[in-house]
Structure 1
Amino acid sequence: MIAKPINSILFVCLGNICRSPLAEGVLRAVFSERGHGGDILLDSAATSGWEVGSAPDPRSIAIASRHGIDISRQRARKIMPEDFQRFDLILGMDRSNVADLKALAPTAVRDRIHLFLEFAEGKPLDVADPYYEDREAFASVYRMIREASEALATRLAARVSTPDSGQTSSTT
């Protein structure tokens, strides 16, 4: 488990055009709704270089827009070696992403890499890649990401909150 404060989060999927840009946008919206808009650096990246420079998939843009979130200006990028030092928390969208990230990461920072749904909600489940699916699959992915983002925001808020007694929260 991560003991230090989390000031930056990187979401990672295979191409950085479907799931990870959506997760970045949704968590940014959740933080904004809770009044924590600029407190934590958020970004997303890919384990592959196939889509570098591309906008998010139009279906991800559409489902985000339907919920009042604009991810259209994001651009896909491949994870870089410096990302492993720059980000306190690196969340892979599926087990394959996590395995790829751990293979790329220096040993000293592998504890920063987690499966998104497992870290956020304690559910060891993948966020399935909807790329070859229909719009309903993107809606399902949005719902999973939204639920996990709400849980993650709550979890992170609990880590930094301190009760009136001056003791730190037992949820850290």
Structure 2
Amino acid sequence: MRRILFVCLGNICRSPLVEAVARASLAEAGLAVAVASCGTGDWHAGEGADPRMLAAAHAAGHDLSRHRARQLRERDFVEHDLLLAMDRANLRDLRQRAPAPELAAKAALFLEWSGAAPPVEFPDPWHGDEAGFAAAVALAERSVAALVERLRHASR
């Protein structure tokens, strides 16, 4: 089974949203892919998703209520086939923290890898308003649909 890790900064907005959307979409597509998420930073470890993201996701039918943030671990590079970063700063952090060059090669930008770009980077709604969170949900749904299509074609 393929394993994908979605990575953002604090693991309370973008990556848990994309994880939840991907989990549901991949199951609906009948693809055997395990997904998880984490952050490069540790300051939100153990916390739930941002309340604004919870509300925006819930309004679109996605449940993030069980999410608990965690920080990237060295073993994530071994346990996952693909580590998809939400932006270039997260990608740089992933590649710098990889325990070996061949493991750093597993890291890519989520929107670029999925084929959903533009944009190339998934904007962080944390500093914005509710509209930014709703836009993040729409982008997650669109980009995960592209990810599912790419994985579907790869499995043929």
Matched pairs, number: 154
What residue number does 2:54 align with? 61
Give the AA of the match of 2:54.
I
What residue number does 2:90 align with? 97
Give the AA of the match of 1:135.
E
CA offset at residue 99 of structure 1?
0.3
Q: Distance in 2 between matches of 1:68 and 1:35?
A: 19
Superposition pairs of residues 1-172 of structure 1, within 5 angstroms: 7-36=2-31, 39-105=32-98, 106-121=100-115, 123=117, 125-161=120-156
Greater share of helix residues, 1 or 2? 2
Q: Residue 38 of structure 2 aligns to a residue in which SS? A: strand
Q: Distance in 2 between matches of 1:109 and 1:118?
A: 19
Larger radius of gyration: 1
Report percent identity of matched pairs: 40
- Structure 1 window deviating more from structure 2 (110-119 vs 58-67): it is 58-67
Give the AA of the match of 1:107.
P
CA offset at residue 32 of structure 1?
2.6
Q: Distance in 2 between matches of 1:40 and 1:160?
A: 11
Give me the TM-score of the superposition, normalised by structure 2: 0.94
Unaligned runs of 5+ in 1: 1-5, 162-172
Q: Distance in 2 between matches of 1:41 and 1:28?
A: 7
Superposed CA RMSD in Å reads 1.3
